[in-house]
Structure 1
């Protein structure tokens, strides 16, 4: 199975590890993410102003590129890895589906592009893993069980808000936990799993981000988590960098590693992964201590 894939800017810069791991995981599970031949930034944030067409043009061009590749691959799906890209593309797409006049107008405006028909389905990598592959098949492919590794699945706010774009329960999400359980990990429950990490406030109001991250990490520590796992590049960045500041200020007594879900999947699904595990000694040590290796 081949899926058109939109990486977005972050996956080519600070989120490279997420993309590298996800592309390998896809092959290990028998599908392929085919990057759109040309793409632009999604716009980063969905503009809620009802009459601003210009802010949606970048996302619209991406939808058209997906439409073009979809004809080649015989699919109407477009896969994203980045939570922010997923949020923006899905909301823009829903706007066109719910407002035919806006779709008509944007097609008139973008007269050098083919018309967007509004039939693309935006899905996140997590949805492919859960719905198209399934936890049971993933479990069958495990080469390195994450035996007794205590993981805290952290969604952040962009995947499940607003409700119109959510693919999992906003109150009690389980998709990521089910996948992690299939790898043999022990999933802990953290009530902060869908709370915001502070997002783009890291640029303008770092203290707000530190407050958010402190609440998330404090509960994670109290639950005994060995690692926080997230599918979101911005969450991974904020949780990692903010913990450093919090630790230096004495607001937390230890730091919890934060890695991408794709990285943990790669560790678990890869055979003879000693070289790869060198970059994740904290996981290797935990697994060895608990008989997982």
Structure 2
């Protein structure tokens, strides 16, 4: 049967959810959630506009992108990728490589004059405050270890909650050597090695002394005073940072500026202020692109003339 058979197209127009199952394990869970939400948005827009989503015409996709132009260019670009992926999965003619799509996206990007929003960095001064307000109970032990380790390793929130006990090595000087697997820029899971301060080594040891070494996840939920054998959700990291900022007495607008990315941003800014060169910062945070790192550092309070 030809992929252009009308009966095939009418059937597959409703099968994208089923086809998405083929992507399981090939992409991060966060990427899959974003793709799913993007296609839901696209198909709903097509329904309201009385247009066919799959196969979508170049005119349909261009009109959709222009409608979505109120969002950040990175969001619009991701939605193009999602539409492309579904066409590929359904083995339909893909409109997203047409030059008109590229020109539409360029118009959207040039029309955006505002600067991209950067998460507020959890620098060492904030880290000290956030550690100090944690309660003296098992949750406080876990939270202090998570905050300090995430800062030292410059982790994304998904990387932090994915760390297992056997990926943490206690060294003779009181620091930790940690293998961080499956980062955003490392889908194959080769991993990167990072090191911590002595304080972080002490906080992680205190947490493990309480919860024990008998199961794999380094950071796990606590239910009725007992550690549970499963990984935390990555949203826990964002909630931890925001609640710590709120409990530390920061004003609401400042609390809102923190995110799950704040540890990575703040640590990179502190390394710059401490005089470390670009290569050292890129290695510490696992960056592959200096352009991406530059965005993290642009809000650092670092005056080169002083």
What is the TM-score when the length of structure 2 is the normalising length?
0.27
Which has the larger share of helix?
Answer: 2
Structure with greater contact order relative to length (CA < 8 Å, sep ≥ 6)? 1
Which has the larger share of strand?
Answer: 1
